[in-house]
Amino acid sequence: MAVIVPVSHGGRDDALSSAIRLCRREDQPLIALLRRPIGEFEQEEIDSEIDELTDRLDGADIGFRIDVRVDETDLATQISELAREESSFVVVSLAHKPAGGKLRLGSQIQKLLLECPCSVLVVREQGAEGNN
């Protein structure tokens, strides 16, 4: 079974870092889900992202594959469908530190937690300082 992690566009990706650590520790392969909406990205941009991601994962010394999906299906549905096929674990991230100490999950994470057939680890993006 594999660990699935959706890959965000640019910037930090603490979910990917957490998934890599989990794959190393548990000796599991990683499936990086690169989802891009139709018409929002040029093929060259997607190819460049795939190349960068491949380089990062090659350096992580884990088994992996990159699953590229260019369509309008919502992310939670795509992750859940992929998890039904071949996952034992999903790692996703919250984009921001909770305001006022209250955690508010986005609608996609809520949907994923309800629909996903396996365990889901939600990590918080740490921000530039790493201590948020």
Helix locations, 30-121, DSSP H: 43-60, 75-86, 107-115
86 touches 116 (CB < 8 A): no
Distance of CA 16 to CAs 38, 75, 96, Å? 23, 16, 16
**Tens digit of pLDDT at every position of the chain (132 positions):** 899 999 977 666 899 999 999 999 999 999 999 988 888 888 898 899 999 999 999 999 999 999 999 888 998 999 999 999 887 899 998 866 656 665 666 788 889 999 999 999 998 877 644 444
Start-to-end CA distance of the chain, whole Å, equals 32
Pairing of strands 119-124, 87-94: parallel
What is the Cα–Cα distance from 113 to 28, expressed in whole angstroms?
22
Say how far apart CA 35 and CA 45 lie, in whole Å: 12
pTM: 0.84
Q: Cβ contacts of residue 98 below 8 Å, gap of 6+?
A: 104
Annotated domain spans of the chain: 2-96+103-108
Beta bridge partners of 35: 69
**CATH no. for 2-96+103-108:** 3.40.50.620
